[in-house]
Amino acid sequence: MQTRPLGRTGLEVSNLCLGTMQFGWTADERSSFAVMDSFVEAGGNFLDTADVYSRWAPGNPGGVSEEIIGRWLKEHGNRDRLIIATKVRGRMWEGPDGEGLSRVHIERAVEDSLRRLQMEAIDLYQCHSPDEKTPIEETLRAFEELISSGKVRHIGASNFTAVQLAEALRVAGDKSLPRFATLQPHHNLVHRHEYEAELAHLCERERIGVIPYSPLAAGFLTGKYRPGRPPPKSARAGRARQYMNAPGFAVLEALDAVAEAHNTTQAAVALAWGMTRPAVTAPIIGANSPEQLADLLPAAELTLSEDEVTNLDRVSASF
C-alpha cells in the first residue's frame, strides 16, 4: 500500500483509510479484529471511527467501535505505528450538552473517546458535522486547548459545505486558532457534485487532506446491484437502491470494462478513480470480513489510464 501526506499535518498515511462504522454493528468484535489485522498486514496505517458509532443499532449505546479498536490496539501493542482518527458531534448522553460542538460537549467527549480507545492522544479529531448553534470560534478554541494539552494532534471537519469550511478557515486565521487540516466529504462516482462543485478547489488551494466517505455508494459500486436482480441482503441496501436506474447502471458497465482490463474488482476501480480527484488523500473503506476487504485492497496499487479516467468522468457526469 502506498502512503500520502495528509494535508499539512506532516503525517504520512496509507492511501486507503479503514472506516470502522460497522464494528459492533454488522461486524462482531472477532470479525472486526480480523479486518484490522488484514488491513495492517496489507500496509494500511490509517483508521477512522467516531464516538457515535453505532448508536443507531439496537442495544448499541455508541462508543462501541472505539472500544473495539482500543482493545485491539492494546492486544497488538501497535499504537505507535498507526494513525487513529475519530469524530465528535453526535448525541452521546442526555441533556442540553449531550451533542454538538460546544466547549462543554467537546471537553467531555474527548475524555470518553480517549478512554475507550485506550490512548493518550488522538491523531485526528474531527467535527462529525457542523453545529449551527455553536460559534465556530468556540469550537476551535476548545480544540486549541486539546492540542495544547497533548490530547489531540490535528483537527478536521466532516460534512461541511464550502461556505462553512471557508468560514472556519477564516476564523482560524483571524484569531490565530488551529485550522482544519482535513475534510471528510461524501464523494463517489454516483455522488460527485457535492464535493466537486466548490469543495474540491477550496481543499486543493488550502492543502486540506480529503478522506471521502462512502466511496462505494453503500456498496452499489461493488457491482452487486444489477438490473433485474433482487438487491443483496445488506444493512445498507436501502441507500444503494437510489442508484438503481439507467444512469447508475451505465456507471457499473463502465466499471466492468475497466475492471476486466486490469483483472481486478469493480470496487477497486471505483476507489482508484476516487484517488484521482483533487486533494484526495485516502478514501474511507469498510468491510465486515477479511474476504470483503480483499476485494478493495487492490485499489491501493491500481493506476488508471487517462482514457479510463476520462470515460468514467463522462459516464458519471450527471451525478
Residues 6+ apart with CB under 8 A from 292: none
Are 269 and 258 spatial neighbours (Cβ–Cβ below 8 Å)?
yes
Question: To 5 degrees, how large is the angle CA 190–CA 195–CA 201?
Answer: 135
Query: What does each C-alpha distance from 236 to 34, 128, 232 come to in angstroms?
Result: 21, 20, 10
Please report, as a single letter, which amino acid is at residue 292. Q
Q: Going by DSSP bridges, is the β-strand pair 12-14/3-5 parallel, antiparallel, or unpaired?
A: antiparallel
- Nearest 5°: phi and psi at 160? -85, 140
Maximum distance among all alpha carbons in the chain? Answer: 57
DSSP code at position 126: E
Number of Cα atoms under 13 Å in the Cβ half of residue 300: 24
SS3 content of the chain, % helix, strand, coil (to 5): 45, 15, 40
CB 45 within 8 A of CB 81: yes
Is 34 in contact with 290 (CB distance < 8 Å)? yes
Which amino acid belongs to residue 301?
E
Catalytic (active-site) positions:
53
Of 228, 275, 274, 271, the C-alpha closest to 249 is 228
**CA-to-CA dists, residue 127 to 43, 52, 78, 220, angstroms:** 27, 12, 26, 27
- Segments in the chain forming alpha helices (H): 29-41, 64-76, 103-117, 136-148, 162-175, 193-196, 199-206, 237-240, 246-262, 266-274, 290-296, 306-315
